[in-house]
Amino acid sequence: MLFPFLLFAFLGVFSPDSSKEEKPNIVLILADDLGWSDIGCYGSEVKTPNLDWLAENGVRFTQMYNTAKCNPSRAALMTGLYAQQVGYEATYQQPLINGITLGELLKSAGYRTLWSGKHHGFDHPMDRGFDRYFGLKEGASNHFNPGLRREGEAQPAQKRPDRPFYEDRTLFQPFTPPMDYYSTDYFTRYPLQWLEEYKNESNPFFLYLAYTAPHDPLMAWPEDIAKYQGKYDEGYEVIRQKRFEKQKKLGLIREDFPLTEPTHVPWASLSDSLKRIEARKMEVYAAMIDRMDQKIGELIQKLRDLGKLDNTVFIFLSDNGASAEMVNIPGDGNIGIVGHWTSLGGDWANVGNTPLRFYKNYSFEGGIRTPLIISWPKGLQAKNQFNDFPAHLIDILPTLADLSGATYPEKLDGKPVLPFPGQSLLPAIRGEKEEREKPIFWEWSVGRAVRQGNWKAVAHGKDAPWELYDLSQDPHETQNLAANHPEKVRELKGLFQVWKEVSAQQKASGQLSWTNSQQ
C-alpha cells in the first residue's frame, strides 16, 4: 500500500555553500511513552488541535520506528547511530562514543542550538554542541515537584528527591521549583524565552524539545483533567474500537486490516471501584497529552508572531510505545496531583497502541512504532499526506543534515566518527524512495527484531523462537509465518547476528579510541 507522496520545494536550503539562501529553522519535539494512537491525528479522542494542525499541513509517517525504550531511543535520535554502536544499548551512565550529536551537527552549519526537557544521558548538552539547556538530566520525576516538599503541599510522590536539573550549566540537585511549576509548562517556557532573546539573530535555530509527558507519574492540572471527566467510563474495549474506526476513517490504516486480539482484561470484569480508578488514570493521562499539545500551540504562535513560522520545520515523534510498566508510590491517594505516583498500566497501554501488539519494552510493533509528523509551511508543497516508508530514529540525523546543508564529519576533536546507518527521509517524502535498501534492527532487554523490506522477524524472551510477519499484508502482526518460511527466518536471523557482532566490535573499538584520544 503506497500513499500519495509529498513534493518538496527545495528553495535552495540544501546547499550549504550559498550564503544567500535561507536555511529553515528546525523544531524537534519528542514525547515520552506516547502510544501510536494517543493523539487525534493518529486516532485518539484526546484533544490535540495543534498537533492535528501540523499533520494537516504536513506529512504523517505510518511506519516510523523507535527502539522500544527511552534511553536507547534518545541515543539513536541524538547521534543517528544505533544505541549498540554508541554504548547505550543497556545503560546511559557513560559518555556517548563513536558519533556526533544533533547539536554538534547543526552548530557546524551555523545554527543556534537549544535543548529543553528530558536528557536521559551522561554528557552535558552544552558539552555536545548545544548553546542552551534547561531540563531533567535523568529519566522521570514528579511533574509538579521533583524536589523537596514545599510549604502548604502534600509530600511529593517521587522515586528520589535528588533528580538532577540544569539551567544551562547550573546544577540543581534537588530541584525544588516554584508553586506554578509543571514539567510540560516549564520545558516550554524556556524555549519561548530563548526565541524572544535570539529573535533578531540572522542565523537559524534548532530547538530540541523533549517532554516528559505522558510518562508516569500520572499528574496534570485539574482544569485539564476536568475536560476528560467521564470520557473513559466506557472502558477499554469501547475506546479501543473507536480509535480503530477513526484510524480507518482517517486513512491511517486500510479498511481490511484486522484489529489485534486485546491484551487488556474485560472492562466488565472490574469492580465499580476499580473502574473508577482505571477511568481516572486515563483522564489524567489524556490531560497530560492535552497540556503538551497546548504548549506546542504556544510555540507555534510564538513563531508566527516572530514571522518565523513559515520557514520552520516541525518534527514530532515519541521515544517508544505506550507503557505497561507499573510504578505505584502510595501517597495521599489522589491520582493526578503532586502527592501520588501511579502509572497507566498494561490495559490502557494496549488501548494507547491501537491497533498494534504489545507496548514499551517489546520489539513488536506496539513497542517500537511511533507517530511521526513532519511539517514545514514554506517547504512542503502538499498537505495532509500519509507516507508508509519504513523509517527509524537513525534517519533523523541525516534528514537534519539534508535540511541544514551540514556536513557529517569523519572525526570529532580527533576522535573517529562512525558513518551513520540511516538515511535522509527527504527522498521518501519527495516520492523518490519507496523501499528501504538496508535492514533495520532492534534489540532491547529480551526483545529483538530485524526488518528487511516487508519481512520482519521478531522474538521476545531469552530463548523465545523467532516469529515472522509480512508487514505489507499483516502490519499488525497477527499471522506468524515462521513455519511457512523457515528459510526467511534463517536469513533474517543471520542478518541480526551479523549486525549484533559488528555493533559490539564498533562499540569496543570506539571505547578504546575515544579513551585513548582523551589521555
pLDDT at position 510? 83
In a domain, 323, yes or no: yes
CA distance 338 to 153: 8
Find the mean pLDDT for residues 482-494.
98
Q: Which of 41, 70, 215, 392 is catalytic?
A: 70
pLDDT at position 445? 95
120 is catalytic: yes
Residue 327 confidence (pLDDT) above 70: yes
pLDDT at position 513? 66
Task: With CA atoms as reference, report the closest residue to 283 among 218, 340, 238, 188.
Answer: 218
Are 109 and 404 in contact, with CB atoms under 8 Å apart?
yes
Q: What backbone phi and psi angles, to 5 degrees, belong to 209? A: -115, 105
Find the mean pLDDT for residues 436-452.
96
In a domain, 422, yes or no: yes
Provide the pLDDT confidence category of residue 15 given band limits of 50, 70 and 90: very low
pLDDT higher at 433 or 53: 53
Please write the tens of the pLDDT for every residue from 237-284: 999 999 999 999 999 999 999 999 999 999 999 999 999 999 999 999
Please write the tens of the pLDDT for every residue from 132-182: 999 999 889 999 999 999 999 999 999 888 999 999 999 999 999 999 999
pLDDT at position 2? 34
Task: With CA atoms as reference, report the closest residue to 178 among 165, 168, 191, 195.
Answer: 165
pLDDT at position 3? 33
In a domain, 464, yes or no: no
CB atoms within 10 A of CB 109: 18
pLDDT at position 515? 56
* Helical spans, DSSP H, in 167-271: 183-197, 222-226, 236-250
Q: Which of 120, 215, 264, 392 is catalytic?
A: 120
pLDDT at position 10? 32
In a domain, 486, yes or no: no
pLDDT at position 243? 98
Please write the tens of the pLDDT for every residue from 73-87: 999 999 999 999 999
Please write the tens of the pLDDT for every residue from 74-128: 999 999 999 999 999 888 888 899 999 999 999 999 999 999 999 988 999 999 9
Please write the tens of the pLDDT for every residue from 371-389: 999 999 888 876 899 999 9
In a domain, 448, yes or no: no
In a domain, 490, yes or no: no
Q: Which three cell numbers stand for residue 512?
A: 578504546
476 is catalytic: no
pLDDT at position 341? 95
Domain CATH for 368:
3.40.720.10
Number of domains in the chain: 1
Per-position DSSP letters for 250-289, written without gaps between them: HTSS-TTPPPPPP-SPPGGGS-HHHHHHHHHHHHHHHHHH
Residue 19 confidence (pLDDT) above 80: no
Find the mean pLDDT for residues 449-455.
97
Give the domain range for residue 304.
25-435
Evaluated on CA atoms 384, 387, 393, 396, the torsion sign reads negative
CA angle 331, 337, 338 (to 5 degrees): 65
CA distance 354 to 182: 29
Cα distances from 324 to residues 71, 118, 264, 342, 353, in angstroms, run 17, 20, 11, 12, 11
CA distance 483 to 489: 9
Q: Which three cell numbers stand for residue 295?
A: 504548549
Find the mean pLDDT for residues 213-240.
98
In a domain, 518, yes or no: no
In a domain, 5, yes or no: no
